[in-house]
Amino acid sequence: AFFNTGMTGYQEIITDPSYAGQFVVLTTAEVGNYGCNDEDVESRDLFLNGLIVQEMNQASNYRSTQELTAVLQNHGKPALAGIDTRALTLLLRARGAQKAYLHASDAPLSEDEAIARARAWEGLDGKDYASLVTTPQPYTWNTEGKFRVAVYDFGVKLNILRQLARHDIQVTVYPAKTPAAAILATNPHGVFLSNGPADPSAVVYAQENIRALLGKVPLMGICLGHQLLGLSCGAECGRLKFGHHGCNHPVKDLRTGQVVISSQNHNYALSNLPACLEQTHVNLNDHSCEGIRHRELPAFGIQYHPEAAPGPHDAQDIFADFLKMMEDEVNHA
């Protein structure tokens, strides 16, 4: 179980593929107030294991088309309400992310059996969830734009695709295991490495593809994509105690000194960067790596979510940086 400190945005949170295989604890006291709708979803399904809240309320909002409880039930996802989630959050902060088991059936289950089932969970380390949440087939998101970008779907959020399209980019999305040669055959101006769930070290096939793409086409990675880019270049990646999940994480750009408040959702972070990589951003809470850039090749990554769904819009200029990188490559070709 992991906690998320966002005050709003529960629909975007539960539909974020990056939560695959996890229980999400929401620290905000009131959940469900504004319901759910068809516009604020971030994926085609719900991939989280379950939701834990303090109080689940009925919706009262003009945009609402469905109750949060109905969405969870329709996707077969359990939820627990009526507990002090802020006290639970303090426990998770002190002890780190914990194994959990939520029993939502009428069939009786003893406390000992529930504890045994929780302990039996193997965890996220070494697990490739990206191959479980990725699109089964390539598809085109946007057909108009100055530049063509191929998006590797490791669990991409829909608002990332929306932001790319808003920046005058033609967007085509590909399954996580698509060979680099197949991507290059489409002659894209750039390749985008998406966010996604679980342990980046387990997504070996993606690292191999990224190494094959480096130097041949501009690369941008977000969250898991950022971690995969770092691993592909020789960096290390380790687990954080309780991860970064929420909309209020301060990040400093080491090149300009600018600080932005960012939306984040990850359990791992890069460290021990090789000489070919420059650290560009740092988390001001725990000083973990939040951004990298290749010193010689057109490739960079950021750990946070500039598309802000949910969250602040401070970091959306990152997409313009990707656009400029592609423009520079075209001009120097």
Q: Looking at 12, 42, 290, 307, which residue is catalytic?
A: 307
Active-site position among 245, 266, 281, 305: 305
First to last CA, the chain: 48
Residue 305 bears catalytic tag: yes
Q: Which residues, including other chains, have CB under 8 Å from residue 328's CB and lie 6 or more apart?
A: 298
Distance from C-alpha of 232 to C-alpha of 172, rounded to nearest angstrom = 23
- CA-to-CA distance for 260 and 262, rounded, in angstroms? 6
Give CA–CA dist 322/112, Å, rounded.
Answer: 52
Question: For 265, what's the count of Cα atoms within 13 Å in the CB-facing half-sphere?
Answer: 34
Instruction: Evaluate whether 154 touches 297 at the Cβ level (below 8 Å).
Output: no
Q: Phi-psi category of 43—alpha, beta or left, where left has phi over 0 and alpha has psi -120 to 50?
A: beta
Catalytic residue among 36, 223, 233, 247: 223
Contact 21, 129 (CB under 8 A): yes
Rounded CA-CA distance 174/152 in Å is 5
Closest by Cα among 89, 82, 31 to 57: 31
Which residues on neighbouring strands pair with residue 48, listed in sequence order? none
Catalytic residue check, 307: yes
SS3 247: strand
Known catalytic residues are 223, 305, 307
